[in-house]
Amino acid sequence: MNQTVYSLVTEGVVKDLQALLGPSAVTVDREKRAAYSKDEVPSFAFDREYLAEAVVFPRSTEDVSALMKYANDHLLPVTPRGAGTGLSGGAVPFAGGIVLSFEKMGRILELDRQNLTITVEPGVVTAEITKAAAREGLLYAGDPCSGDASYIGGNVAENAGGNKVVKYGTTGNSVLALEAVLADGTVMEFGGKRRKDATGYDFAHLIVGSEGTLAVVTKITLKLLPLPERVVDLLIPFPDVASAIDFAPRIQSEGKVIPSSLEFLDRKSIRLAERFLNTSLPCDDAGAHLIVQLEGNDPEVLADEMERIGDLCFAHGAIEVFVADNRTTRDKLWKARKCLAEAIMAFYPKYSLEDLVVPTSEIPKLLEETTRLCRKYGLEEANFGHVGDGNMHVNLLFPEERPGWHEDLEELLGELYDFTAKIGGTLSGEHGIGLKRQKYMCRVMDGAQMELIRRVKAAFDPKNILNPGKIINCPDGGNPPV
Ligand SMILES: Cc1cc2nc3c(=O)[nH]c(=O)nc-3n(C[C@H](O)[C@H](O)[C@H](O)COP(=O)(O)OP(=O)(O)OC[C@H]3O[C@@H](n4cnc5c(N)ncnc54)[C@H](O)[C@@H]3O)c2cc1C
Protein backbone atom coordinates (compact mmCIF):
# COMPACT_ATOMS: atom_id res chain seq x y z
CA MET A 1 0.00 0.00 0.00
CA ASN A 2 1.36 3.41 -0.99
CA GLN A 3 1.38 6.19 1.52
CA THR A 4 0.91 9.70 0.28
CA VAL A 5 3.24 12.18 1.96
CA TYR A 6 1.17 15.33 2.07
CA SER A 7 2.40 18.88 2.38
CA LEU A 8 1.93 20.62 5.70
CA VAL A 9 -0.21 23.69 6.30
CA THR A 10 2.61 26.16 6.85
CA GLU A 11 2.26 29.87 7.65
CA GLY A 12 2.71 30.52 3.95
CA VAL A 13 -0.17 28.18 3.10
CA VAL A 14 -2.41 29.93 5.64
CA LYS A 15 -1.56 33.31 4.09
CA ASP A 16 -2.34 31.95 0.62
CA LEU A 17 -5.68 30.53 1.79
CA GLN A 18 -6.58 33.81 3.48
CA ALA A 19 -5.71 35.66 0.29
CA LEU A 20 -7.98 33.29 -1.67
CA LEU A 21 -10.97 33.12 0.71
CA GLY A 22 -10.60 36.12 3.01
CA PRO A 23 -8.82 36.44 6.40
CA SER A 24 -11.78 35.30 8.54
CA ALA A 25 -12.34 32.17 6.42
CA VAL A 26 -9.31 30.34 7.86
CA THR A 27 -8.44 29.47 11.44
CA VAL A 28 -5.48 27.66 12.97
CA ASP A 29 -6.61 28.19 16.55
CA ARG A 30 -5.87 24.92 18.37
CA GLU A 31 -9.14 24.68 20.27
CA LYS A 32 -11.15 25.31 17.14
CA ARG A 33 -9.10 22.79 15.18
CA ALA A 34 -9.76 20.19 17.90
CA ALA A 35 -13.50 20.94 17.92
CA TYR A 36 -13.71 20.55 14.14
CA SER A 37 -11.62 17.37 14.08
CA LYS A 38 -14.16 14.95 15.54
CA ASP A 39 -17.67 13.72 15.04
CA GLU A 40 -19.93 11.67 17.33
CA VAL A 41 -17.67 8.63 17.31
CA PRO A 42 -15.94 8.76 20.70
CA SER A 43 -12.19 9.33 20.56
CA PHE A 44 -11.63 6.05 22.47
CA ALA A 45 -12.67 4.21 19.30
CA PHE A 46 -9.49 5.36 17.55
CA ASP A 47 -5.86 4.55 18.18
CA ARG A 48 -4.73 8.17 18.21
CA GLU A 49 -5.94 11.75 18.16
CA TYR A 50 -6.61 13.30 14.77
CA LEU A 51 -6.16 17.02 14.37
CA ALA A 52 -6.67 19.33 11.41
CA GLU A 53 -3.90 21.85 10.74
CA ALA A 54 -6.41 24.47 9.62
CA VAL A 55 -10.18 24.84 9.39
CA VAL A 56 -11.55 26.70 6.38
CA PHE A 57 -15.05 28.22 6.12
CA PRO A 58 -16.02 28.83 2.46
CA ARG A 59 -19.01 31.05 1.66
CA SER A 60 -19.56 30.05 -1.96
CA THR A 61 -18.91 27.43 -4.60
CA GLU A 62 -16.17 29.70 -5.96
CA ASP A 63 -14.44 29.61 -2.54
CA VAL A 64 -14.63 25.81 -2.49
CA SER A 65 -13.31 25.57 -6.02
CA ALA A 66 -10.39 27.91 -5.30
CA LEU A 67 -9.55 25.99 -2.14
CA MET A 68 -9.66 22.59 -3.86
CA LYS A 69 -7.50 23.77 -6.74
CA TYR A 70 -4.94 25.09 -4.28
CA ALA A 71 -5.04 21.92 -2.17
CA ASN A 72 -4.66 19.72 -5.24
CA ASP A 73 -1.75 21.76 -6.60
CA HIS A 74 -0.02 21.69 -3.19
CA LEU A 75 -0.92 18.15 -2.12
CA LEU A 76 -2.90 19.12 0.96
CA PRO A 77 -5.52 16.70 2.32
CA VAL A 78 -9.05 18.13 2.65
CA THR A 79 -11.77 16.67 4.86
CA PRO A 80 -15.28 18.04 4.17
CA ARG A 81 -17.36 18.52 7.29
CA GLY A 82 -21.05 19.06 7.91
CA ALA A 83 -22.38 19.35 11.45
CA GLY A 84 -20.11 16.60 12.83
CA THR A 85 -23.01 14.35 13.92
CA GLY A 86 -21.57 11.43 11.96
CA LEU A 87 -21.31 8.01 13.60
CA SER A 88 -18.45 6.61 11.50
CA GLY A 89 -15.62 9.12 11.90
CA GLY A 90 -16.22 10.35 8.33
CA ALA A 91 -15.42 13.98 9.15
CA VAL A 92 -12.30 13.14 11.17
CA PRO A 93 -9.18 14.54 9.40
CA PHE A 94 -7.25 11.30 9.19
CA ALA A 95 -4.25 12.86 7.46
CA GLY A 96 -4.36 16.26 9.18
CA GLY A 97 -4.47 19.03 6.59
CA ILE A 98 -7.60 21.13 6.06
CA VAL A 99 -11.08 20.62 7.44
CA LEU A 100 -13.60 22.22 5.09
CA SER A 101 -16.59 23.32 7.16
CA PHE A 102 -19.89 24.18 5.48
CA GLU A 103 -21.39 26.13 8.34
CA LYS A 104 -21.27 29.38 6.34
CA MET A 105 -22.99 27.85 3.32
CA GLY A 106 -26.42 27.40 4.88
CA ARG A 107 -28.83 29.10 2.50
CA ILE A 108 -32.03 27.71 1.06
CA LEU A 109 -31.69 28.94 -2.51
CA GLU A 110 -35.04 28.13 -4.08
CA LEU A 111 -38.28 26.28 -3.45
CA ASP A 112 -39.88 25.50 -6.79
CA ARG A 113 -43.59 24.77 -6.30
CA GLN A 114 -44.15 23.84 -9.90
CA ASN A 115 -41.43 21.22 -10.12
CA LEU A 116 -41.74 20.27 -6.43
CA THR A 117 -38.06 20.78 -5.66
CA ILE A 118 -35.98 22.60 -3.11
CA THR A 119 -32.41 23.70 -3.85
CA VAL A 120 -30.08 24.26 -0.93
CA GLU A 121 -26.49 24.79 0.07
CA PRO A 122 -24.83 21.90 1.93
CA GLY A 123 -24.76 23.65 5.32
CA VAL A 124 -28.54 23.84 5.73
CA VAL A 125 -29.70 21.96 8.83
CA THR A 126 -31.88 19.04 7.72
CA ALA A 127 -34.87 20.05 9.87
CA GLU A 128 -34.85 23.53 8.29
CA ILE A 129 -35.53 21.93 4.92
CA THR A 130 -38.42 19.96 6.41
CA LYS A 131 -39.84 23.15 7.92
CA ALA A 132 -39.39 25.24 4.76
CA ALA A 133 -41.18 22.57 2.72
CA ALA A 134 -43.98 22.19 5.31
CA ARG A 135 -44.63 25.95 5.24
CA GLU A 136 -45.56 25.46 1.58
CA GLY A 137 -47.67 22.37 2.29
CA LEU A 138 -44.89 20.08 1.02
CA LEU A 139 -42.92 17.19 2.45
CA TYR A 140 -39.17 16.69 2.43
CA ALA A 141 -38.98 12.98 3.27
CA GLY A 142 -35.44 12.81 4.73
CA ASP A 143 -35.80 12.26 8.47
CA PRO A 144 -32.64 11.15 10.29
CA CYS A 145 -32.95 11.13 14.09
CA SER A 146 -30.18 13.74 14.13
CA GLY A 147 -32.10 16.02 11.76
CA ASP A 148 -32.25 18.95 14.22
CA ALA A 149 -28.45 19.19 13.99
CA SER A 150 -27.13 17.41 10.89
CA TYR A 151 -26.52 19.28 7.64
CA ILE A 152 -28.00 18.19 4.33
CA GLY A 153 -24.48 17.97 2.84
CA GLY A 154 -23.59 15.39 5.50
CA ASN A 155 -26.87 13.54 4.80
CA VAL A 156 -26.06 13.39 1.10
CA ALA A 157 -22.46 12.30 1.72
CA GLU A 158 -23.64 9.49 4.03
CA ASN A 159 -26.82 8.70 2.09
CA ALA A 160 -28.52 9.15 5.46
CA GLY A 161 -31.57 7.10 6.25
CA GLY A 162 -33.73 7.64 9.28
CA ASN A 163 -37.32 7.09 10.14
CA LYS A 164 -39.16 7.37 6.83
CA VAL A 165 -37.02 5.13 4.63
CA VAL A 166 -39.56 2.30 4.65
CA LYS A 167 -41.91 4.49 2.58
CA TYR A 168 -39.74 7.12 0.89
CA GLY A 169 -36.22 5.67 0.69
CA THR A 170 -32.92 7.14 1.87
CA THR A 171 -31.61 10.67 1.26
CA GLY A 172 -30.39 9.55 -2.16
CA ASN A 173 -33.97 8.88 -3.23
CA SER A 174 -34.74 12.56 -2.69
CA VAL A 175 -31.66 13.83 -4.52
CA LEU A 176 -32.37 15.05 -8.05
CA ALA A 177 -29.26 17.13 -8.72
CA LEU A 178 -25.92 17.98 -7.22
CA GLU A 179 -23.38 20.67 -7.86
CA ALA A 180 -20.02 19.26 -6.85
CA VAL A 181 -16.44 20.46 -6.83
CA LEU A 182 -13.91 17.85 -7.89
CA ALA A 183 -10.56 17.40 -6.20
CA ASP A 184 -8.84 19.69 -8.75
CA GLY A 185 -11.37 22.49 -8.25
CA THR A 186 -13.52 21.78 -11.33
CA VAL A 187 -17.19 22.61 -10.69
CA MET A 188 -19.62 20.06 -12.12
CA GLU A 189 -23.41 19.78 -12.27
CA PHE A 190 -24.99 16.33 -12.13
CA GLY A 191 -28.70 15.63 -12.65
CA GLY A 192 -31.38 18.34 -12.76
CA LYS A 193 -34.95 19.10 -11.76
CA ARG A 194 -36.08 16.34 -14.13
CA ARG A 195 -37.48 13.24 -12.41
CA LYS A 196 -35.84 10.76 -14.78
CA ASP A 197 -32.48 10.57 -16.46
CA ALA A 198 -31.08 7.70 -18.50
CA THR A 199 -28.32 9.73 -20.09
CA GLY A 200 -24.97 8.20 -19.29
CA TYR A 201 -23.65 7.35 -15.84
CA ASP A 202 -25.59 8.54 -12.80
CA PHE A 203 -22.77 10.50 -11.18
CA ALA A 204 -25.07 12.32 -8.77
CA HIS A 205 -25.94 9.03 -7.11
CA LEU A 206 -22.35 7.83 -7.17
CA ILE A 207 -21.42 10.91 -5.14
CA VAL A 208 -24.36 10.31 -2.79
CA GLY A 209 -22.97 8.10 -0.01
CA SER A 210 -19.35 8.56 -1.08
CA GLU A 211 -18.53 10.17 2.28
CA GLY A 212 -16.69 13.16 0.84
CA THR A 213 -14.09 10.95 -0.85
CA LEU A 214 -15.03 11.65 -4.49
CA ALA A 215 -16.18 15.27 -4.61
CA VAL A 216 -17.29 18.15 -2.43
CA VAL A 217 -21.03 18.82 -2.67
CA THR A 218 -21.83 22.54 -2.91
CA LYS A 219 -25.48 22.59 -3.99
CA ILE A 220 -28.29 20.05 -3.73
CA THR A 221 -31.68 19.88 -5.42
CA LEU A 222 -34.13 17.68 -3.55
CA LYS A 223 -37.46 16.20 -4.49
CA LEU A 224 -40.53 17.32 -2.52
CA LEU A 225 -43.92 15.66 -2.16
CA PRO A 226 -47.35 16.78 -1.03
CA LEU A 227 -47.45 17.03 2.76
CA PRO A 228 -49.90 14.48 4.17
CA GLU A 229 -52.66 16.21 6.11
CA ARG A 230 -52.87 13.65 8.89
CA VAL A 231 -50.27 11.69 10.83
CA VAL A 232 -50.85 9.02 13.46
CA ASP A 233 -48.27 7.10 15.46
CA LEU A 234 -48.94 3.74 17.04
CA LEU A 235 -46.87 2.43 19.93
CA ILE A 236 -47.23 -1.34 20.05
CA PRO A 237 -45.70 -3.29 22.93
CA PHE A 238 -44.97 -7.01 22.50
CA PRO A 239 -44.06 -9.56 25.15
CA ASP A 240 -40.70 -10.27 23.57
CA VAL A 241 -38.32 -9.34 20.77
CA ALA A 242 -39.20 -12.36 18.65
CA SER A 243 -42.92 -11.53 18.46
CA ALA A 244 -42.26 -7.85 17.62
CA ILE A 245 -39.84 -8.75 14.84
CA ASP A 246 -42.15 -11.46 13.51
CA PHE A 247 -45.02 -8.99 13.40
CA ALA A 248 -43.27 -6.06 11.66
CA PRO A 249 -43.37 -7.31 8.03
CA ARG A 250 -47.01 -8.38 8.35
CA ILE A 251 -48.08 -4.72 8.28
CA GLN A 252 -47.20 -4.65 4.60
CA SER A 253 -47.57 -8.26 3.53
CA GLU A 254 -50.90 -8.98 5.28
CA GLY A 255 -52.25 -5.56 6.27
CA LYS A 256 -51.43 -4.12 2.81
CA VAL A 257 -50.40 -0.88 4.49
CA ILE A 258 -47.14 0.96 3.78
CA PRO A 259 -46.25 2.75 7.00
CA SER A 260 -44.11 5.87 6.79
CA SER A 261 -42.10 4.65 9.79
CA LEU A 262 -41.61 1.21 11.26
CA GLU A 263 -39.23 1.34 14.22
CA PHE A 264 -38.17 -1.25 16.79
CA LEU A 265 -36.94 -0.75 20.36
CA ASP A 266 -35.96 -3.56 22.69
CA ARG A 267 -36.62 -3.43 26.42
CA LYS A 268 -33.16 -2.12 27.24
CA SER A 269 -33.61 0.74 24.75
CA ILE A 270 -36.93 1.70 26.32
CA ARG A 271 -35.29 1.74 29.76
CA LEU A 272 -32.46 3.91 28.44
CA ALA A 273 -34.88 6.41 26.89
CA GLU A 274 -36.93 6.58 30.09
CA ARG A 275 -33.83 7.17 32.20
CA PHE A 276 -32.34 9.73 29.82
CA LEU A 277 -35.57 11.72 29.47
CA ASN A 278 -36.70 11.13 33.04
CA THR A 279 -40.07 9.94 31.82
CA SER A 280 -42.02 6.73 31.52
CA LEU A 281 -43.50 5.03 28.49
CA PRO A 282 -46.60 2.84 28.53
CA CYS A 283 -46.35 -0.88 29.21
CA ASP A 284 -43.29 -1.19 31.35
CA ASP A 285 -43.06 -4.96 31.27
CA ALA A 286 -43.01 -5.33 27.46
CA GLY A 287 -40.05 -7.11 25.91
CA ALA A 288 -40.04 -4.88 22.84
CA HIS A 289 -41.98 -2.05 21.21
CA LEU A 290 -42.75 -1.11 17.64
CA ILE A 291 -43.50 2.43 16.55
CA VAL A 292 -45.65 2.55 13.43
CA GLN A 293 -46.38 5.84 11.72
CA LEU A 294 -49.22 6.24 9.24
CA GLU A 295 -49.77 9.27 7.06
CA GLY A 296 -52.61 10.25 4.76
CA ASN A 297 -55.27 12.79 3.90
CA ASP A 298 -58.50 10.88 4.28
CA PRO A 299 -59.46 10.22 7.95
CA GLU A 300 -61.52 7.19 6.95
CA VAL A 301 -58.65 5.58 5.09
CA LEU A 302 -56.35 6.19 8.05
CA ALA A 303 -58.92 4.77 10.46
CA ASP A 304 -59.25 1.70 8.26
CA GLU A 305 -55.47 1.22 8.17
CA MET A 306 -55.27 1.56 11.94
CA GLU A 307 -58.02 -0.98 12.39
CA ARG A 308 -56.35 -3.44 10.07
CA ILE A 309 -53.04 -3.08 11.89
CA GLY A 310 -54.83 -3.30 15.26
CA ASP A 311 -56.54 -6.58 14.28
CA LEU A 312 -53.27 -8.01 13.05
CA CYS A 313 -51.50 -6.92 16.23
CA PHE A 314 -53.88 -8.81 18.50
CA ALA A 315 -53.80 -11.86 16.25
CA HIS A 316 -50.01 -11.90 16.58
CA GLY A 317 -49.37 -11.40 20.25
CA ALA A 318 -49.25 -7.62 20.76
CA ILE A 319 -49.99 -6.64 24.35
CA GLU A 320 -51.73 -3.36 23.46
CA VAL A 321 -51.93 -0.72 20.74
CA PHE A 322 -51.49 2.87 21.93
CA VAL A 323 -52.54 5.59 19.50
CA ALA A 324 -50.70 8.91 19.51
CA ASP A 325 -52.75 11.26 17.38
CA ASN A 326 -51.90 14.62 18.85
CA ARG A 327 -48.69 16.64 18.71
CA THR A 328 -47.79 16.22 22.41
CA THR A 329 -48.00 12.44 22.60
CA ARG A 330 -46.41 12.02 19.19
CA ASP A 331 -43.51 14.28 20.20
CA LYS A 332 -43.03 12.33 23.43
CA LEU A 333 -42.85 9.07 21.52
CA TRP A 334 -40.36 10.31 18.95
CA LYS A 335 -38.23 12.03 21.56
CA ALA A 336 -37.82 8.61 23.17
CA ARG A 337 -36.87 7.02 19.87
CA LYS A 338 -34.52 9.82 18.83
CA CYS A 339 -32.59 10.14 22.10
CA LEU A 340 -31.25 6.59 22.18
CA ALA A 341 -27.76 7.17 20.76
CA GLU A 342 -27.27 10.09 23.15
CA ALA A 343 -28.55 8.02 26.07
CA ILE A 344 -25.95 5.33 25.41
CA MET A 345 -23.22 7.96 25.16
CA ALA A 346 -24.35 9.40 28.50
CA PHE A 347 -24.60 6.16 30.48
CA TYR A 348 -21.86 3.84 29.25
CA PRO A 349 -18.10 4.37 29.63
CA LYS A 350 -17.32 2.35 26.51
CA TYR A 351 -19.63 1.29 23.69
CA SER A 352 -19.87 0.71 19.98
CA LEU A 353 -22.93 1.93 18.07
CA GLU A 354 -23.42 -0.38 15.10
CA ASP A 355 -25.50 0.08 11.99
CA LEU A 356 -25.92 -3.40 10.51
CA VAL A 357 -28.36 -4.02 7.71
CA VAL A 358 -29.69 -7.42 6.68
CA PRO A 359 -32.61 -8.71 4.63
CA THR A 360 -35.60 -8.18 6.93
CA SER A 361 -36.19 -11.95 7.10
CA GLU A 362 -32.74 -12.35 8.73
CA ILE A 363 -33.25 -9.86 11.58
CA PRO A 364 -34.07 -12.59 14.15
CA LYS A 365 -30.82 -14.41 13.34
CA LEU A 366 -28.84 -11.20 13.61
CA LEU A 367 -30.29 -10.40 17.02
CA GLU A 368 -29.77 -13.96 18.29
CA GLU A 369 -26.14 -13.86 17.24
CA THR A 370 -25.67 -10.45 18.86
CA THR A 371 -27.01 -11.82 22.14
CA ARG A 372 -24.75 -14.88 21.89
CA LEU A 373 -21.67 -12.75 21.24
CA CYS A 374 -22.49 -10.26 23.98
CA ARG A 375 -22.78 -13.14 26.46
CA LYS A 376 -19.53 -14.65 25.21
CA TYR A 377 -17.61 -11.37 25.68
CA GLY A 378 -19.47 -10.18 28.81
CA LEU A 379 -21.15 -7.13 27.24
CA GLU A 380 -24.64 -5.71 27.45
CA GLU A 381 -26.67 -4.95 24.34
CA ALA A 382 -29.38 -2.44 23.45
CA ASN A 383 -30.92 -2.91 20.05
CA PHE A 384 -33.20 -0.56 18.21
CA GLY A 385 -33.64 0.67 14.68
CA HIS A 386 -35.38 0.78 11.40
CA VAL A 387 -36.90 -2.69 11.40
CA GLY A 388 -38.85 -1.97 8.22
CA ASP A 389 -35.54 -1.63 6.35
CA GLY A 390 -33.66 -4.44 8.12
CA ASN A 391 -31.35 -1.74 9.52
CA MET A 392 -30.60 -2.62 13.13
CA HIS A 393 -28.66 -0.37 15.45
CA VAL A 394 -27.04 -3.13 17.41
CA ASN A 395 -25.27 -1.45 20.32
CA LEU A 396 -22.51 -3.16 22.23
CA LEU A 397 -22.16 -1.80 25.74
CA PHE A 398 -19.47 -2.19 28.38
CA PRO A 399 -21.13 -1.76 31.76
CA GLU A 400 -17.80 -0.68 33.28
CA GLU A 401 -14.23 0.07 32.33
CA ARG A 402 -12.11 -3.06 32.08
CA PRO A 403 -8.64 -3.92 30.81
CA GLY A 404 -8.58 -5.48 27.36
CA TRP A 405 -11.99 -4.02 26.41
CA HIS A 406 -10.70 -2.80 23.07
CA GLU A 407 -9.34 -6.18 21.99
CA ASP A 408 -12.57 -7.88 23.10
CA LEU A 409 -14.61 -5.41 21.08
CA GLU A 410 -12.49 -5.90 17.97
CA GLU A 411 -12.87 -9.68 18.18
CA LEU A 412 -16.60 -9.43 18.80
CA LEU A 413 -17.05 -7.03 15.88
CA GLY A 414 -15.06 -9.30 13.58
CA GLU A 415 -17.32 -12.24 14.46
CA LEU A 416 -20.48 -10.14 14.21
CA TYR A 417 -19.56 -8.63 10.84
CA ASP A 418 -18.66 -12.06 9.42
CA PHE A 419 -21.99 -13.42 10.58
CA THR A 420 -23.84 -10.41 9.12
CA ALA A 421 -22.16 -10.94 5.75
CA LYS A 422 -23.03 -14.65 5.88
CA ILE A 423 -26.75 -13.90 6.19
CA GLY A 424 -26.71 -11.42 3.32
CA GLY A 425 -26.14 -8.26 5.31
CA THR A 426 -23.48 -5.60 5.42
CA LEU A 427 -21.58 -3.24 7.70
CA SER A 428 -23.65 -0.10 7.48
CA GLY A 429 -27.14 0.84 6.36
CA GLU A 430 -26.88 4.60 6.85
CA HIS A 431 -23.98 5.73 9.06
CA GLY A 432 -21.26 4.88 6.57
CA ILE A 433 -17.82 3.32 6.80
CA GLY A 434 -15.68 6.38 7.53
CA LEU A 435 -12.67 5.73 9.67
CA LYS A 436 -14.45 3.49 12.14
CA ARG A 437 -15.32 0.55 9.90
CA GLN A 438 -12.73 0.96 7.18
CA LYS A 439 -10.59 -1.96 8.31
CA TYR A 440 -13.58 -4.31 8.20
CA MET A 441 -14.46 -3.66 4.55
CA CYS A 442 -12.56 -6.75 3.44
CA ARG A 443 -15.02 -8.85 5.47
CA VAL A 444 -17.92 -7.87 3.21
CA MET A 445 -16.18 -7.08 -0.10
CA ASP A 446 -13.81 -9.17 -2.13
CA GLY A 447 -10.52 -7.98 -3.60
CA ALA A 448 -12.02 -7.22 -7.01
CA GLN A 449 -14.71 -5.00 -5.49
CA MET A 450 -12.16 -3.17 -3.34
CA GLU A 451 -9.95 -2.65 -6.39
CA LEU A 452 -12.88 -1.18 -8.31
CA ILE A 453 -13.49 1.26 -5.46
CA ARG A 454 -9.81 2.27 -5.62
CA ARG A 455 -10.04 2.83 -9.37
CA VAL A 456 -13.19 4.95 -9.10
CA LYS A 457 -11.54 6.95 -6.33
CA ALA A 458 -8.42 7.46 -8.47
CA ALA A 459 -10.54 8.65 -11.41
CA PHE A 460 -12.15 11.37 -9.28
CA ASP A 461 -9.23 12.20 -7.03
CA PRO A 462 -5.93 10.99 -8.52
CA LYS A 463 -3.80 12.60 -5.81
CA ASN A 464 -5.95 11.21 -2.98
CA ILE A 465 -6.46 14.55 -1.26
CA LEU A 466 -10.20 14.22 -0.62
CA ASN A 467 -10.97 12.74 2.77
CA PRO A 468 -8.09 10.24 2.66
CA GLY A 469 -8.15 7.17 4.88
CA LYS A 470 -11.91 6.72 4.60
CA ILE A 471 -14.00 3.81 3.28
CA ILE A 472 -10.97 1.75 2.27
CA ASN A 473 -7.24 2.12 2.48
CA CYS A 474 -6.95 3.85 -0.86
CA PRO A 475 -3.50 4.69 -0.34
CA ASP A 476 -4.08 6.36 2.96
CA GLY A 477 -2.82 9.58 4.46
CA GLY A 478 0.75 9.17 5.57
CA ASN A 479 1.38 12.23 7.68
CA PRO A 480 1.85 11.97 11.42
CA PRO A 481 -0.59 13.74 13.74
CA VAL A 482 0.07 17.46 14.12
C1 LIG B 1 -28.13 11.13 17.95
C2 LIG B 1 -27.83 10.77 16.53
C3 LIG B 1 -28.83 10.20 15.77
C4 LIG B 1 -28.57 9.85 14.42
N5 LIG B 1 -29.57 9.31 13.68
C6 LIG B 1 -29.36 9.02 12.38
C7 LIG B 1 -30.41 8.46 11.58
O8 LIG B 1 -31.53 8.26 12.03
N9 LIG B 1 -30.12 8.16 10.30
C10 LIG B 1 -28.89 8.39 9.76
O11 LIG B 1 -28.69 8.10 8.58
N12 LIG B 1 -27.89 8.89 10.50
C13 LIG B 1 -28.08 9.22 11.79
N14 LIG B 1 -27.07 9.74 12.54
C15 LIG B 1 -25.74 9.92 11.95
C16 LIG B 1 -25.48 11.30 11.32
O17 LIG B 1 -26.31 12.28 11.88
C18 LIG B 1 -25.65 11.25 9.82
O19 LIG B 1 -24.65 10.43 9.24
C20 LIG B 1 -25.62 12.61 9.12
O21 LIG B 1 -25.91 12.42 7.76
C22 LIG B 1 -24.28 13.32 9.24
O23 LIG B 1 -24.46 14.67 8.86
P24 LIG B 1 -23.43 15.78 9.34
O25 LIG B 1 -23.82 17.07 8.70
O26 LIG B 1 -23.30 15.82 10.79
O27 LIG B 1 -22.09 15.27 8.65
P28 LIG B 1 -20.63 15.06 9.25
O29 LIG B 1 -20.64 14.10 10.38
O30 LIG B 1 -20.01 16.38 9.49
O31 LIG B 1 -19.93 14.39 7.98
C32 LIG B 1 -20.35 13.14 7.53
C33 LIG B 1 -19.63 12.80 6.21
O34 LIG B 1 -20.07 13.68 5.21
C35 LIG B 1 -18.97 14.29 4.54
N36 LIG B 1 -19.45 15.60 4.12
C37 LIG B 1 -20.06 16.54 4.87
N38 LIG B 1 -20.42 17.59 4.11
C39 LIG B 1 -20.01 17.31 2.84
C40 LIG B 1 -20.08 17.99 1.59
N41 LIG B 1 -20.66 19.18 1.49
N42 LIG B 1 -19.54 17.40 0.50
C43 LIG B 1 -18.95 16.19 0.58
N44 LIG B 1 -18.86 15.50 1.73
C45 LIG B 1 -19.39 16.05 2.84
C46 LIG B 1 -17.87 14.29 5.59
O47 LIG B 1 -16.59 14.32 4.99
C48 LIG B 1 -18.13 12.96 6.27
O49 LIG B 1 -17.53 11.91 5.56
C50 LIG B 1 -27.28 10.08 13.87
C51 LIG B 1 -26.29 10.66 14.66
C52 LIG B 1 -26.55 11.00 15.97
C53 LIG B 1 -25.47 11.64 16.78
CATH of domain 348-441: 3.30.70.2740
Model pLDDT, residue 283 = 80
Model pLDDT, residue 78 = 98
* Residue 268 reports pLDDT greater than 80: yes
* Residue 480 reports pLDDT greater than 50: no
Average of per-residue pLDDT across 39-49: 94
Can you give the pTM of this predicted structure?
A: 0.96
- The pLDDT tens digits for 423-455 are 999 999 999 999 999 999 999 999 999 999 999
Model pLDDT, residue 438 = 92
* Residue 388 reports pLDDT greater than 50: yes
* Residue 13 reports pLDDT greater than 70: yes
- Write a three-state SS string for the chain: CCCECCCCCCHHHHHHHHHHHCHHHEECCHHHHHHCCCCCCCHHHCCCCCCCCEEECCCCHHHHHHHHHHHHHHCCCEEEECCCCCCCCCCCCCCCCEEEECCCCCCEEEEECCCCEEEECCCCEHHHHHHHHHHCCEECCCECCCCCCCEHHHHHHHCCCECCHHHHCCHHHHEEEEEEECCCCCEEEEECCCCCCCCCCCHHHHHCCCCCCCCEEEEEEEECEECCCEEEEEEEEECCHHHHHHHCCHHHHCCCCCCCEEEEEEHHHHHHHHHHHCCCCCCCCCCEEEEEEEEECCHHHHHHHHHHHHHHHHHCCCCCCEEECCHHHHHHHHHHHHCHHHHHHHHCCEEEECEEECCHHHHHHHHHHHHHHHHHHCCEEEEEEEHHHCEEEEEEEECCCCCCHHHHHHHHHHHHHHHHHHCCCECECCCCCCCCCHHHHHHCCCHHHHHHHHHHHHHHCCCCCECCCCCCCCCCECCCCC
The atom number, within ligand 1, closest to the CA of 211 reads: 49
Average of per-residue pLDDT across 8-25: 98
The atom number, within ligand 1, closest to the CA of 431 reads: 19
- The answer for residues whose C-beta is within 8 angstroms of residue 457's C-beta and 6 or more apart is 213, 214, 464, 471, 474
Model pLDDT, residue 284 = 73
Q: Domain 108-226 falls in which CATH fold?
A: 3.30.465
| Distance in Å, CA 474 to ligand 1 centroid | 21
| Distance in Å, CA 47 to ligand 1 centroid | 22
Strand pairing report for 380-386 and 261-266: antiparallel
* Residue 179 reports pLDDT greater than 80: yes
Which of 85, 125, 168, 460 most suits a substitution to test ligand 1, by most atoms within 8 Å of the C-beta? 85
* Residue 1 reports pLDDT greater than 90: no
The two domains 108-226 and 348-441 share their CATH topology (first three levels equal): no
| Distance in Å, CA 103 to ligand 1 centroid | 13
- Percent of the chain past pLDDT 90, that is, above it, reads 94
Average of per-residue pLDDT across 464-468: 97
Which of 41, 155, 158 most suits a substitution to test ligand 1, by most atoms within 8 Å of the C-beta? 158
* Residue 2 reports pLDDT greater than 60: no
- Percent of the chain past pLDDT 70, that is, above it, reads 98
Average of per-residue pLDDT across 155-182: 97
| Distance in Å, CA 158 to ligand 1 centroid | 6
**What is the average pLDDT score of the chain?**
95
- CA torsion, ordered 129, 131, 136, 137, to nearest 10 deg: 110
Model pLDDT, residue 171 = 98
- The pLDDT tens digits for 100-121 are 999 999 999 999 999 999 999 9
Model pLDDT, residue 435 = 96
Q: Kindly state if the Cβ of 431 falls inside 6 Å of ligand 1.
A: yes
* Residue 406 reports pLDDT greater than 50: yes
| Distance in Å, CA 460 to ligand 1 centroid | 22
Q: Kindly state if the Cβ of 213 falls inside 6 Å of ligand 1.
A: no
Residue spans per domain, the chain: 11-103+448-460, 108-226, 230-340, 348-441
CATH of domain 230-340: 3.30.70.2190
* Residue 17 reports pLDDT greater than 70: yes
CATH class of 11-103+448-460: alpha beta
- The pLDDT tens digits for 363-372 are 999 999 999 9
Closest residue by Cα to atom 2, ligand 1, is 146
Q: Kindly state if the Cβ of 420 falls inside 6 Å of ligand 1.
A: no
Position with higher pLDDT, 47 vs 276: 276
Closest residue by Cα to atom 32, ligand 1, is 154
